[in-house]
Chains A and B, each alone.
Chain A
């Protein structure tokens, strides 16, 4: 077995989320693999374009929806720029699923608070749909999502969909100055909106993903609300290459983020050197 050799996937659909972020809907070329493939919310993969290299993205679709996976990526460098040029029908490589996952089973019977910033909504979206597809297993669901500006919001259609759901409280915000003339959502940084939107922490799990700076200011808000450190869950995005616990790149303290993570509770994070 060559652990570094990807499977081939075909791009079935492309959505341009923002001017630099795209979502691919992907299907395995090989039907056997397509049938046997399964993953859990929070896991990631190594996506590759042959001749350009590999990039790490989370699987942004929900495991409750089988037959395809989705990923959303932002154009920042070599591989992501090359991927951004592809069309429906093109073939890319995929290795995965890798890493650990969100504790969906333990979250059942509890309230769930989702907090995401920018492209950080990609991993959270996977859990949101996972939870919403099993809606009755969970208590109150709250979503707080923010981006720099209205143009930077991703999954706009789904944001509307969540906002229209009676049993989901959804707050969408943009940074001050990022609002358009017809913007009807919130204006303000994510931590401030969380403070406004959330009143209690009882029996609640908070899932927080976004830029380091957002996480840094959101955590104190959550602890003030009384969230226990083990009930705040986040994902790390250390640079990765192999995804298999071999190449050493994602090593932080005693963990390999690609194998022991990327999902960590705030309690676990505090035992790690602050190298993420």
Chain B
């Protein structure tokens, strides 16, 4: 593996040059709410100790709302006008491993058979500079979903702080290598063995459950009463899905944008809303919140794994930190694991 070294100072110059080269730099904001574009390298605010923002950066690759085409209702018929695909070159700077992996995970659903070019264009135009993570709280569980605070899976480049003012940077993908090429003068040669030593010293969140156990338990216990525990208090909002780095459900709706013209929009949606599955006839296949909560857990830990061979969760803990009624998905997975172990 190729590895370089860079000083904090040079990292700022690197950011400056990227801005000059027309890259959009996107970072965790200072309030800890969401990811923001910066216009000046002085705003480069990265640290391995930051708490994950309330919302992930997915909104930059999978917009909360975006036009998929425009239409003009004219006297002699309808005219459809394509919506421009964004050509913006984005760099997610200092992403935690639990965010970095998200693009690859969502890419599976957006590319099986039909290809969603709204997502793909943005994903292709993105560079993920991941960073080793030293934040921990009781909501984090990346190690239970095959990730870890030192995982570079999903990153194109991976930053490792070696001391206050110095970083090592791993070149993880070919895309990362090409991206960094023009700026190599800012970097010195590094030694992967030294950073391997750093990795060894990082304390990892304790592994709370085996995802495979959860998957097979769900497969056999679909009607289990356990789901009611969360289902009866869950309020059915979209918080958990919308802050999640990998939830990807959406709605398609038309709206006006002027006299006789309009646009068709692709908007975030979530399986926790009661209207999500409501039929025109009034029949609703998931008519109570327990069923809807079960869908959330099952889709994440079973269906998506069965279908796409990826767990639909990076263990970032966001949905749990923000849940209005304190439903903690990591805790639920742990409890399911112990239910499975006790065969109940």
Contact = CB atoms under 8 A, between A and B. Distances in A.
A and B touch in the complex (CB under 8 A): yes
A244 B299 CA distance: 18
Secondary structure dominating the interface of B: mixed
Q: Which of A5, A48, A50, A74: most chain B CB closer than 10 A? A: A50
Given A53-B252, A245-B112, A247-B269, A4 B68 contact: yes
B212 interface: no
B250 A4 contact: no
Contact of B117 (A3, A6, A237, A245): A3
A249 interface: yes
A3 B69 CA distance: 11
Interface in A1-19: 1-6, 8
Interface in A40-99: 48, 50-54, 74, 76-77, 80, 91, 93
A130 interface: no
Which of the four size classes fits the interface of chain B? 35 or more
Contacts of A3: 114-117
B222 A273 contact: yes
B341 interface: no
B211 to A, nearest CB: 16
Interface in B200-255: 222, 248-254
A149 interface: no
Contact of A77 (B109, B116, B280): B280
A276 B280 CA distance: 13
B80 interface: yes
B250 A246 contact: yes
Contacts of B69: 2, 4-5
A212 B284 CA distance: 11
A238 interface: yes
Nearest to B283: A212
B266 interface: yes
B17 interface: no
Contacts of B254: 48, 50-53
A242 B113 CA distance: 13
B284 to A, nearest CB: 9
Of the four ranges (under 10, 10 to 19, 20 to 34, 35 or more), the interface on chain A belongs to 35 or more
B253 A276 contact: no
A50 B278 contact: no
A274 B82 CA distance: 39
A158 to B, nearest CB: 24
Given A5-B69, A5-B82, A247 B281 contact: no
Interface stretch (A109-117, A192-200, A222-230, A251-259): A251-259
Contact of B110 (A6, A91, A246, A253): A246
Interface stretch (B32-40, B71-79, B159-167): B71-79
B49 interface: no
Nearest to A273: B222
Interface string A157-184: 0000000000000000000000000000
Contacts of B77: 8, 29, 91
Contacts of B299: 248, 251
Contact of A245 (B114, B264, B269, B283): B114
Contacts of A242: 250, 252
Contacts of B277: 238-239, 249, 275
Contacts of B285: 238, 252, 274-276
Given A80-B280, A242-B252, A253 B114 contact: no
A273 B302 CA distance: 13
Given A5-B68, A239-B279, A253-B303, A50 B78 contact: yes
A247 B73 contact: no
A216 to B, nearest CB: 12
A103 interface: no
Contacts of A252: 285
Interface in A100-127: none
B189 interface: no
B250 A247 contact: yes
B43 interface: no
B24 to A, nearest CB: 23
A185 interface: no
A259 B111 CA distance: 13
8 contacts: A3-B114, A50-B262, A51-B262, A53-B264, A241-B252, A248-B250, A248-B299, A253-B303
Given A8-B77, A48-B264, A244-B114, 7 more contacts: A1-B115, A54-B252, A239-B276, A239-B277, A241-B251, A246-B116, A248-B250
Interface of A: 1-6, 8, 29, 48, 50-54, 74, 76-77, 80, 91, 93, 211-212, 237-239, 241-242, 244-249, 251-254, 259, 273-276
